[in-house]
Structure 1
């Protein structure tokens, strides 16, 4: 197909049998799929009050291009009900069976299962249908969860299973749904709300996922810049940082001329962004030939910096959402826990920025004060579809492009892709420049100092997590800072003020400091930074990637990965400490301390439990 494939969404209400949540379903599915439309991978066509004539015209207009047919409204085993007329199931099956590229039909109405046989006999590959009357809220939750998973590049199979799991989470194990193959016997009287029915000749459709076209890249272009040189757009990021922290600009000026020293300015960008972003910028600004040229390596590092930046924003927002959920019973949609269902494949597609925006929107809707106030400006810029939104569309499309094409296929356009990629990455970093006013901290240990008749103090072995051009160490030795209140031990936190971190946001278990897991980490032996971010799940275990390499390289480096199944990390200590441990080991019935890696698993379990209730 030369033109974009079409997803056809049809909604039909009736005045005498009004479905209260049908318009909400239309709005949510439109929101979910509109970004793929804007990116150019699909064309979304929605009819909110469809009738038979409109339905037939749309099927004829997009006949060669329709990949998904969705109907939501009243229905029965023989027809779909519109306001004033009906579409007969036998005739509709004949029309849908003539769509050469149709992947599946979703009939989100009551008791549509009887229509399945007609559809499969006419050659439709897959049908999602219902066997019983469906409550409005369940119909909305099921379709929303299914299409969100599909939009995140899940296959039909995994999107269906995820939607089933979401309803079981909300409504209990009595909810049943399964996959049936054409001709397979099943109990038609069973109270099975949804089923996925497959044509026996088209089982492979289960592995189909939404296309990831990159045509939209051609429609989004930065201003023409004939004077472009590598890293020149990054200086705009420094200018924006100076807007938030005016003290930075004098640090980048040449002491003799007073002019801006570009090398100093770029170094200050690295140092004043939080570690996960700063260390990626450090790689991008490297003078190694492979990165300092308009090459495939540079293009990958531009995208790696984008992914780590949006992942960091997402984990901040997700951490606050978790805190707010524990304080009050706010309504959390299941898709906000998508990260718990990443695998090695879907992780590569995950859209962190879109999920970040969704969380900010939810927190604002619930009238929660944002821990990072500037998130409201980012969310508004996204909704206004200005350059920040264009940058998002371009970079996500570029991610898809390099997944689909080889370096040899990209060779001719690499210079332009690198130049445009840097421009749009700078647009994302400019919007993130406010982070210069926040401290990302590692708390390795907390010790209580409490003397008789005196208020206790809490010594925090704490360090700021910022990279430098030639230094990836936290510090030569962590110094204890005493506070009247305490934060969280062995954690990575975000604070507005390092001098008084009582107002903080804990980013663990999404971001962790491996050094905090061992013994003796308050001493000078754990200076090399080992910050890891959560990547994806492997059964009951969770895999983390080191932040010091490109996201396109770290998955190839097992030593720079960490899983919760790993052996508990330990650091060497002095002889006296070894004797103390030997003495302790001789004590009988002494309880072994819990492994920090087990604690991470418990935290993920608690996160899932909290957000599911």
Structure 2
């Protein structure tokens, strides 16, 4: 099996404070791929001359990566407080026929790299041309292996790691050389040597990937197990009606029937082969369109979460209360999010969580508290790593660019992407307890001597295996006359309270909208969009269609049909930021 040898060496005289963190961090990054059988990781946390010789001899035929982190200098690598001459190391590495990448993450290792090149090693090599800060060395290697783990080529991973490091302002000056001064602190200190001219195209091995891969099977099973935890009636329906040889398809149908539309519709595009949603033909086979369907489901999942929390903050702003105390940093982060600026999901979520919990506002979707806590739990990084992978996928394969990738890379990313989507689905089964409902055309019925009653048109936003234009469940219906006033021209997130069996709702305007609530037309089907950004360049609010992300709704300040929505958005920015939305 392909083997990654990770060697770390500290000096008793000058211990490196970040080396242990680098050791653990690289293992945490790479170990999910090891579990999938793509390669094996061999760690030498306290490497010695004897142990590195033993490891190189044992794994000679299968060694793929040799990584060294620790003190280095012109003499060689410091192992167990003794200098290992690089000439001997180079000779041993030259006997490894499968070696693809050598990373010498110590101070001024470029001179050592030259010795490696004398042995005609064809692997890509990264070394440093000057003394390097300990913290910077750890940070750079962390970024590099993160991108390699996300199946970037070696050349791409190195460049992205350099770009990421350029944002670092870490002031620590301890070096990975003994007694040397730091001369270069930026990312250009790391130099990539490409002896064969092809090493930059290499990516991490996926030897066992795809051998038993059945597209959609893992995603369906993980998502189904998650939803039956929150709705036992689904399991009963499955047990009573399943046909053995169609179990997977029946689970698929139940997922699409029971999940709310922002999750069910993009999920349908992935799980139902040959579905045309105007992005091109999506099949279960690996393709760019399938990768983008992953992105659509992920975007909808994240947007639903953020929209729910923002709606609760809007309610908090509009309710009688003591003045809210929201930090300047949090306000700046939310402003960045509203404008579509580059801001991390982790930072946006942290701000929203802080506001709700600081003001003791219970989560409307109660299970979101557990999900958010899990995301920040360092002892269980599965959710955070899967979100990070899919966030990176959005950057790598943007909707507005034609991307060409190899068939093998596409296949690898499709399987890895499904694994990460499945991880998120496994934590998100609680959404079956919630629906989205669209209400419009409120009418007041009032007779003398009686209390007012109300009539609405409404539709529960559900996906379906039936083509949209033939699905009567997507049509608006007249609600029975009721004394309950539902908010008009809005999309409501509804749940059924377990305490009193009464429906509870959260108005998610202006972050989620049903176009046909606002636009006068003969179309009697809902058309759901979710907030994307406000653009100060053209004073417009942008929404992206759920299930068809290439379809974008632009609402400018003069759009006749959307006066109510603009007022809703402006009320939010006025109360939160004390400015009109067009002043963002």
- State the secondary structure of the residue aligned to 1:160: helix
Question: 1:6 — aligned with what?
Answer: 3
CA contact (8 A) 1:442 1:462 kept: yes
Structure 2 contact 133–185 (Cα < 8 Å) conserved: no
Post-superposition offset of 1:195: 4.1
1:203 Cα shift? 2.2
How many matched pairs?
Answer: 442
**Structure 1 stretch displaced more, 26-35 or 524-533:** 524-533
- Cα distance change on mapping 1:66 and 1:239 into 2, 3 Å: closer
- Tell me how far 1:529 sits from its aligned partner: 3.0
1:274 alignment partner, one of 238, 260, 265: 260
Partner of 1:150: 148
1:318-357 maps to which residues of 2 (within 5 A)? Answer: none
Match of 1:103 among 100, 104, 107: 100
The 5 A counterparts of 1:111-510 are: 111-124=108-121, 125-171=123-169, 194-199=188-193, 201-214=195-208, 241=227, 244-245=230-231, 269-279=255-265, 282=268, 372-373=368-369, 375=371, 404=408, 432-439=428-435, 465-470=461-466, 472=468, 475-476=475-476, 481-482=486-487, 499-501=504-506
1:563-604 CA distances to partner (integer Å, 9 max, x unpaired)?
8xx79589x99xxx69x99xxxxxxxxxx99xxxxx9xxxxx
Deviations 1:553-572 (A, max 9, x none): xxxxxxx5528xx79589x9
In structure 1, the partner of 2:24 is 27
Cα deviation for residue 306 of structure 1 reads: 7.7
Aligned to 1:419: none
Cα pair 2:270 2:294 within 8 Å, conserved: no
CA deviations on 1:40-67 (whole Å, 9 max, x unpaired) are 2222111100101111111122222222
CA RMSD of aligned residues (A): 6.3
Give, in whole Å, the separation in 2 of the partners of 1:71 and 1:202: 22
How far residue 150 of structure 1 moved from its aligned partner, in angstroms, is 0.7
Deviation at 1:159, TM superposition (A): 1.1
Partner of 2:82: 85
TM-score by length of 1: 0.53
Deviation at 1:500, TM superposition (A): 3.8
CA positional deviation for 1:383: 5.9
Given the superposition, is the C-alpha separation of residues 544 and 192 from structure 1 closer, same or farther in structure 2, using an over 3 Å criterion? same
Classify the secondary structure of the residue corresponding to 1:157.
helix
SS at the partner of 1:45? strand
Give the CA deviation at 1:84: 2.9
Quote the residue 2:550 is aligned against. Answer: 562
- Measured after TM superposition, the shift of residue 72 of structure 1 is 0.8
For residue 141 of structure 1, report the CA deviation from its aligned partner: 1.2
Cα contact 1:154–1:209 (8 A) shared by 2 = yes
TM-score between the two structures when normalised by the length of structure 2: 0.56
Contact 1:238-1:269 at 8 Å conserved across structures: yes
Q: Secondary structure at the match of 1:71?
A: strand
Q: Does the CA-based 8 Å contact 1:123-1:199 persist in structure 2?
A: no
C-alpha distance 372-205 of structure 1, shift in aligned 2 (>3 A): same
Match of 1:159, SS state, is helix
- Aligned-residue offset at 1:244: 2.3
Separation in structure 2 between the aligned mates of residue 119 and residue 236 of structure 1, nearest angstrom: 47
Distance (whole Å) between structure 2 residues aligned to residue 235 and residue 172 of structure 1: 44
Q: 2:308, 2:136 → 1: CA distance?
A: 27
Preserved CA contact (<8 Å) 1:157 1:207: yes
1:105, CA displacement in angstroms?
1.5
Q: Which runs of 5+ in 2 are unaligned?
A: 174-181, 244-248, 277-281, 314-325, 331-336, 390-405, 412-417, 441-455, 480-484, 497-502, 533-541, 568-572, 574-584
SS in 2 for 1:9: strand
TM superposition shift of 1:80: 0.9
Displacement, 1:438?
Answer: 3.3
- Equivalents in 2 of 1:158, 1:264: separation in Å? 41
SS in 1 for 2:198: helix
Q: Residues 273 and 284 of structure 2 are in contact (CA less than 8 Å); yes or no, is this contact kept in structure 1?
A: no
The CA deviation at 1:313 is 5.1
Instruction: Write the distance in 2 (CA, Å) between the matches of 1:430 and 1:468.
Output: 22
Structure 1, unpaired ranges of 5+ = 176-187, 222-229, 291-295, 331-336, 343-354, 393-401, 408-421, 445-459, 484-488, 535-542, 549-559, 582-591, 594-598, 600-613
What is the DSSP-based 3-state SS (H/G/I as helix, E as strand, rest coil) of the residue aligned with 1:111? coil
Q: Is the 8 A contact 1:437 1:496 kept in 2?
A: yes
SS at match of 2:21: helix
1:529 equivalent among 527, 530, 535: 527
Q: 2:210 and 2:284 mapped to 1: Cα distance?
A: 22
The alpha-carbon deviation at position 425 of structure 1 amounts to: 10
| Structure 2 Cα separation of the partners of residues 17 and 320 of structure 1 | 51
Deviation string for 1:22-81 (max 9, x for gaps)?
111111100111111111222211110010111111112222222211111111122111
| CA shift for structure 1 position 137 | 2.0
CA distance in 1, matches of 2:149, 2:264: 30
Contact in 2 for aligned 1:78/1:90 (Cα 8 Å): no
Q: Which shows bigger deviation, 16-25 or 314-323? A: 314-323
Q: CA deviation at 1:197?
A: 3.9
In 2, are the aligned partners of 1:155 and 1:209 still within 8 Å (CA)? yes
Residues 499 and 462 from structure 1, CA distance in 2 versus in 1: closer, same or farther, beyond 3 angstroms?
farther
C-alpha contact (below 8 Å) 1:10/1:72 kept by paired residues = yes
Q: Matched residues in 1 for 2:409 and 2:51: separation?
A: 39
CA contact (8 A) 1:93 1:122 kept: yes
